[in-house]
């Protein structure tokens, strides 16, 4: 399955998954940096689809990725966003990260944070704008931590 077929399949598959929950919406799909971006519009079922700590959202994303992998798709990485939840969350994390970075600059102490992979990636990306700050992650799985330190 080539890239275009992968994108179309992922969007249709997500629409089919949503219809299982009685949600009949069109899923908007694009590709960015070899990651299929699936955007689900806001519905009355947002809280169910997102779940606590976005666990349901990640589960839906995982199902689509595994299905693409099983079908030997050229692109298998998928990012699912429901009602712009991830975009809004990234904005909130960026605001917090600026505070954490200011704290590290002020105190000189390394800040250790327990964040999920998407939030860690947001902080890493933001920290690239600071020449005197470094970020790194250590640990495995759910025990992975983000460190913000002075260079």
The residues near 49 (Cβ < 8 Å, ≥ 6 apart) are 18, 21, 23, 40, 43, 56, 57, 60, 82
Distance between CA atoms of residues 108 and 122, nearest Å:
22
The predicted pLDDT at position 16 comes to 93
Structural domain boundaries in the chain: 3-83, 88-150
pLDDT, the chain, mean: 90
CATH 3.30.300.20 fits 3-83, yes or no: yes
pLDDT, tens digit (0-9, with 9 covering 90-100), for 109-129:
999 999 888 889 899 999 998
pLDDT, tens digit (0-9, with 9 covering 90-100), for 38-74:
999 988 888 888 988 888 998 999 999 999 999 988 8
Backbone angles phi, psi at 119, to 5 degrees: -70, -40
| Portion of the chain with pLDDT greater than 70, in percent | 100
CATH 3.30.1370.50 fits 88-150, yes or no: yes
The reply to whether domains 3-83 and 88-150 share a CATH topology is no
């Amino acid at each position: 399955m080539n890239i275009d077929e992968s994108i179309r399949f992922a969007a249709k598959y997500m629409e089919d998954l949503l219809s299982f929950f009685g949600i009949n919406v069109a899923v908007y799909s694009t590709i960015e940096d070899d990651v299929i971006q699936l955007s689900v519009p806001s519905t009355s079922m947002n809280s169910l689809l997102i779940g606590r700590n976005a666990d349901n959202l990640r589960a839906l994303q995982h199902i689509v990725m595994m299905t693409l992998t099983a079908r030997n798709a050229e692109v298998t990485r998928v990012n699912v966003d429901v009602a712009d939840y991830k975009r809004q969350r990234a904005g909130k994390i960026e605001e917090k990260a600026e505070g954490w970075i200011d704290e590290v600059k002020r105190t000189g102490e390394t800040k250790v944070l327990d964040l999920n992979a998407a939030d860690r990636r947001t902080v890493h990306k933001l920290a690239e704008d600071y020449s005197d700050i470094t970020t790194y992650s250590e640990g495995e799985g759910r025990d992975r931590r983000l460190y913000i330190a002075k260079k």
